[in-house]
Structure 1
């Protein structure tokens, strides 16, 4: 190769890097004392979503206006939560590209394009002491990777040629694991990335062990076995071989770190399988537990299990909140966790002692063969913030008579109530169901005042267990005909008669570049404007996946999503190259040969097809005063044209899922809700101080920063409205899909030099 060509090709990037370094240096020195950052998903490792600034107050918040907008320039809904460091904001857009923006005006500084498979909800920022090394740490396609925060270039010295394989180190063949990276970015403590996983919720999913990796080398520093191994604490709460085949018990959401005390608080999820546990008899530590670890070593300090032997998918998913309480004249440094089923548990964050009493109360046994529901469950003495059942008296009054008649019959034959075990003989109507209650992103705090803010939704699940049939890899003629009928009735209108695409994307050979778990979740729960088809049973779903070119049991970890040319200052594309596996293993589909196990397995769908089953309010925000142990105020939020008929006092079904909050030191609580709703509430009483309806749905955690004394609110408004909400993007004055930045009007210079 011609050396002159090498020099010429390298010079523009070298010049660009030098200019960018000068930009950082100059802007940093001039604004270091006047800029506050939002460097983590929840603002800081404490995940409080709390921001200390003085400009925006309850008195002037109603004057907020759009300062600038960054359009994402495609029709992709992004769930990404922006982070802000110094004068750069990092966002996702333009065909899954990571983009650095100038916080003053939204101008692009650099673009790393086509990061297909990047964790949907955010990234981490790390810097060394003298800021000579600045890194963006993130997960993509089951790996951890790092990008230089100044240049946008991949850091190839990280890990093994630029990446760490998250499938390794779990005592199962790495190539057999289809899905492990979390939907959240993890959290940083010093030079460690502490990270959970999204294992899926099927039988034989991978275990959700929590790990910490060095952000410089990529080396795994510690691992905490959430499903204990022989000799480890909690091992006796499982069958002796459970660690070989049970999955889940994972942190798929938000990890909280007390940076001063060096404690990481893990909100752990349910063991698999979620609704039938005959193969995991016992209380199942550390499932559904709040676990405190030494953040440096991963050593367990204390734990508390909020659900024993979970049969209801009651994961702990919202971020645990650090608060300083003044209780009976005593100052308590506490940790509080809100749950999907409407309880708040509060502990001394160092000792794990409950601050408010918790009582073990008896609940009904299971009627399923081989199942042993735990005889008692912990009940907090604090006020419950959700209902626990659906009855004929609490049925949605907006239903037409025909629907009421159907549900009068179904409820008379079903069982509903707290901790009713699922059955194959009748429907179990759980309130709240799998979506909560309080879910991920749904907690925030004013740490010094001892107030926790909770977003909650009254969303029931209807469960009925069905026997799992042995897997069939070959499709029969009957299956093919059934799938063709399903496709024609439910899919063809949007995706085309030949799967070529139309209103929806093409589906030809989708199984070659989409995990089965992702495919099934999309079909069952919907995505964007696509509704969920919860009536599709597991066998038909797997047949549909095979019909579209996939195999539910075939390893398909490396995704081959479309790459596109992206306009703007593109410095790199696609992250580092991930090497193909030398060996391919099928995902675990049965128990190990030497393990005693039940002869029959049962499953159910999530039962999410009736979000407004009970009477309103359906979604609310509430302030929980944990000094006194009372709910200080509650306000319905969200708007849903089908169920609420425009009455904003009712909230909206599913109105706060995927939403977030910001609490300011001046007493303003910003929250998002269904229907593109953005509120500013008075922290003292919940009164609405300001309200905005964005042109696209908001499905991400908001962010905030200050620059030169001005305070900015950042909203990701890139999602599609569901079919039961008004589509505000069709309004004549609709803003483009993108990141919207609000601020107070800038002060105008006084005339004639007067002050």
Structure 2
């Protein structure tokens, strides 16, 4: 039986690696200090630490922070976007899906490239040549990579082929069958490479999540790391024969961290598809759910560690790997640490992959599903977990009504809960944490020189029950219409309202007139924003639901994400990016196994079970400081406000309070963190005490940024989200600021 553990590189490879490190070290002259004085990457710097040298904002003056200026975004479609700042220019996403350059001190618009629907949701990349004559913004747009001149805002037409690179190419599948592959995250720049993950979806037959690196000047594909190995490659025998032809996922959909001095990229790889039933992917499934260190120049694997074998729980490695220097047994060790959805921290030597704290393989329950073979053991870190792992009658939410509590007591009598309980079609499994629990993307940061990792976490269970996938029906009957209405009432009404007029989510009135079926299908199945994907919905029900919302499934789109353009005023320099090939978005997704491939007779699915973010007792969301010098939790405090149960009680945190939030860590010992309810905190890095806090006029769901201009530091927050129905709506208060990007700092003395 193959037992995947950490893997050390051979002595000969160590010698080669040493030579490589010395060579790269000569080429890369950046230091920790210079990397952390700018915010030209999504997480501030290539290491995604969110750490910033901020001498002008200290513990003694941070309480003087004020809102200095804001830039209105125009609407709330860009609530994930994290600005980057280069010199005195800030790049944001705004009105009519426009990429906008503004002056970082005043908010003055410098140029606008409008009409870019489908652009990367969470951020973009910046690159400049050594002589600074070539400055580029690189991003993905409708399954392509494109480049814009950072000074002029105009598309660079000699990038790729006629200005773009088709991301559907080179994935071992018919490119026309791939409807979604571009990542939601921007990737990371290393030297002259853009290293990119993907978001291929989580259904059966999704595309594979291979990691790819492209030349930032030419668009040429420089290397590919197969996350689902091909024949002859390491790890191929941890899958069934030919699995790479039909298994998807095993993708990096979050943050890739790079050590520029060593030239190593650290890949937090996610789950394979299908997430909750793996009878067609028996084995441990490398490199899914693995932290993989690769040569950033070539993509060659250096070492890996798999944190979940044969994942059946959607326990992706979501947050950024954090690169820190720790004191271990009296020695300084450069380490990489990864926090997980299920509440564990794993720490490794950055070069060899050797664990710095013990990890034990422990046995867990066997799956009872037909054809399924859950892995008999799972790796458990010896470091203290930062989440709970079971829902019990004793830890149920004490604020439930008597009737609701009785309902849950009965459900727990017949359900199973506990770490690594396999999903079943015979009983409900209540996983703690669930698909959105623990640490998720954007939820880790670090003080890299002092060995402290900061984690945002939430206690959020998922409830699962597998259902057999039935063959689609050819005709819609009255019963199918009733089923569509039931689908809307069970899965959509809570956010979109009984009359489709909106609430926590947007209005769906006649939405079918304003979007194409391909975009609608991707949104429903894969989710968008705070909306989870409904992977269990069959194709005919999807088409019927689209008709129910006023759409025509036969109306074809040659550019998904298309929206009705509104006039944009200001210094518009270009519009629409590069025009891609007319058939770039055509094709039907892969629907079945390739001919001649052995596969199980039946398929099973479940939804994400996210109906109960406050299922257990509080605190529901927290931030904690993890001291990796000694493997202890230094401090922990609840964050976030407002819930259905405890309005405004900050000692409880908030259900779903840290998902899609972020942090900035300063060199002066301050932790800036966002949380549910539009809350921003400045915490003392030593003990977690609150030094300053404020409440935004609108919710934030993006990574904050920090920059220096004229010797002063500024904090930037994207505040463009709607408050959820269980939060107070601060946008209705007198003096509220319009949705947009808000900049805080210490005002000049008068």
Aligned pair in 2 of structure 1 residues 715, 732: CA closer, same or farther (>3 Å)?
A: same
- Per-residue CA distance 1:545-568 (angstroms, 9 max, x = gap): 355536599997644322221011
Residues 461 and 266 of structure 1: is their aligned pair in 2 closer, same or farther, counting only changes over 3 Å? same
Equivalent in the alignment of 2:594? 592
Report the equivalent of 1:256: 257
Inter-partner Cα distance in structure 2 for 1:556 and 1:411: 49
Confirm or deny: 8 A CA contact 2:516 2:555 kept in the other structure.
no
Q: For residue 736 of structure 1, what is the aligned residue in structure 2?
A: 738
Equivalence for 2:5: none
Structure 2: how far apart are the matches of 1:365 and 1:547? 42
What SS is found at the alignment partner of 1:507? helix
CA contact under 8 A between 2:619 and 2:651: conserved in structure 1?
A: yes
In structure 2, the partner of 1:508 is 513
The SS at the match of 1:183 is coil
Aligned position for 1:660:
662
Query: How is 1:582-731 mapped onto 2 (pairs within 5 angstroms)?
Result: 584-731=586-733
CA distance in 1, matches of 2:446, 2:474: 50
Structure 2 partner of 1:12 = none
Shift of 1:535: 12
Say if 1:485 and 1:665 are closer, same or farther in 2 by CA, change over 3 A. Answer: closer
C-alpha distance in 2 between matches for 1:383 and 1:597: 40
Residue correspondence of structure 1 range 75-154 to structure 2 within 5 A: 75-154=76-155
**Is 1:448 matched with 2:449?**
yes
Alpha-carbon offset, residue 517 of structure 1: 2.4
Alignment of 1:386-397 (within 5 A): 386-397=387-398
Q: CA deviation at 1:267?
A: 0.2
Check 1:477–1:112 CA distance in 2 against 1; reply closer, same or farther (3 A cut): same
1:649 alignment partner, SS class = coil
Residue 698 of structure 1 deviates from its aligned partner by: 0.7
SS in 2 for 1:623: strand
2:533 and 2:608 in contact (8 A); partners too: no
CA distance in 1, matches of 2:566, 2:379: 52
Q: Residue 9 of structure 2 corresponds to which residue in structure 1?
A: none
Name the counterpart of 1:11: none
1:71 and 1:553, CA in 2 relative to 1: closer, same or farther beyond 3 A? Answer: closer
Paired with 1:473 and 1:248, the residues of 2 have a C-alpha distance of: 29
Preserved contact between residue 707 and residue 713 of structure 2 (Cα < 8 Å): yes
2-structure distance, mates of 1:627, 1:355: 10
Report 1:20-99 matches (<5 A).
36-99=37-100
CA deviation string 1:447-504 (max 9, x = no partner): 000000000000000000000011335433421344256668946755479xxx9686
Checking the alignment, whether the CA contact within 8 Å between 1:714 and 1:740 is kept in structure 2 is yes
1:513-546 per-residue CA deviation (whole Å, 9 max, x = no partner) reads 61512133459x855xxxx797985564453135
Shift in alpha-carbon separation, 1:513–1:112, aligned structure 2, 3 A: farther
Measured in 2, the distance between the counterparts of 1:427 and 1:653 equals: 22
In structure 1, the residue matched to 2:24 is none
Q: What CA deviation, in whole Å up to 9, does each residue of 1:370-402 have, x standing for no partner?
A: 000000000000000000000000000011101
Larger radius of gyration: 1
How many Å separate the matches in 2 of 1:737 and 1:510? 24
* Deviation at residue 440 of structure 1 after TM alignment: 0.1
Post-superposition Cα deviations, 1:192-231, rounded to whole Å, max 9, x if no partner, equal 0000000100000000000000000001000000000000
Mapped partners of 2:476, 2:240: distance in 1: 36
Secondary structure in 2 matching 1:388? coil
Residues in 2 aligned to 1:347 and 1:452: alpha-carbon distance in whole angstroms: 14
Quote the residue 1:565 is aligned against. 567
C-alpha contact (below 8 Å) 1:515/1:557 kept by paired residues: no
Name the structure 2 match of 1:5: none
Q: 1:267-666 maps to which residues of 2 (within 5 A)?
A: 267-472=268-473, 474-483=475-484, 490=493, 493-495=498-500, 506-508=511-513, 510-512=515-517, 514-522=519-527, 527=531, 537-538=537-538, 540-541=541-542, 543-545=544-546, 547-548=548-549, 549=551, 558-581=560-583, 584-666=586-668
Confirm or deny: 8 A CA contact 1:638 1:673 kept in the other structure. yes
Residue 8 (structure 1) aligns with: none
- Does the 8 Å contact 1:705/1:711 carry over to 2? yes
Match of 2:192 in 1: 191
Distance 1:138 1:665 in 2: 30
Determine the C-alpha separation between the residues in 1 that align with 2:462 and 2:636: 23
Q: TM-score, normalised by structure 2?
A: 0.91
Residues 304 and 442 of structure 1, relative CA distance in 2, 3 Å threshold: same
**Mapped partners of 1:478, 1:722: distance in 2:** 33
Question: Would the alpha carbon gap of residues 290 and 503 (structure 1) be closer, same or farther in structure 2, given more than 3 Å must change?
Answer: closer
Residues 1:508 and 1:496: Cα distance change in structure 2 (over 3 Å): farther
1:262/1:296 contact within 8 Å kept: yes
Answer yes or no: is the 8 Å Cα contact 1:495–1:507 preserved in 2: no
Conserved 8 A contact 1:78-1:92: no
* Worse-superposed segment, 76-85 or 556-565: 556-565
Structure 1 residue 106 displacement after superposition? 0.6
- Give me the whole-angstrom Cα distance separating, in 2, the residues matched to 1:347 and 1:734: 46
- SS of the residue aligned with 1:514? helix
Runs of 5+ unmatched residues, structure 1: 1-32, 749-755
Please give the alpha-carbon distance, in whole angstroms, between the structure 1 residues aligned to 2:304 and 2:362.
19
What's the CA shift for 1:40? 0.4
Measured at CA, do residues 621 and 742 of structure 1 come closer, stay the same or move farther in structure 2, by a change above 3 Å? same
Aligned-residue offset at 1:641: 3.4
Q: How many pairs align?
A: 707
Separation of aligned partners in 2, 1:430 and 1:107: 48
Q: Is the 8 A contact 1:542 1:552 kept in 2?
A: no
The 3 A distance-change label for structure 1 pair 550 and 181 is: farther
8 A Cα contact 2:558 2:586, kept in partner: no
- Give, in angstroms, the shift of residue 303 of structure 1: 0.3
Aligned equivalents of 2:77 and 2:172: distance in 1? Answer: 36
Give 2:23's aligned residue.
Answer: none
**Is this contact kept in 2: 1:516–1:552, CA < 8 A?**
no
The alignment partner of 2:272 has SS state of coil
In structure 1, the residue matched to 2:14 is none
- Residues 309-349 of structure 1: CA deviation (Å, up to 9, x unaligned): 00000000100000000112111000000000000000001
Q: What's the secondary structure of 2:361's corresponding residue?
A: strand
Q: Could you report, residue by residue, the CA deviation over 1:6-26 in whole angstroms, capped at 9, with x for unpaired residues?
A: xxxxxxxxxxxxxxxxxxxxx
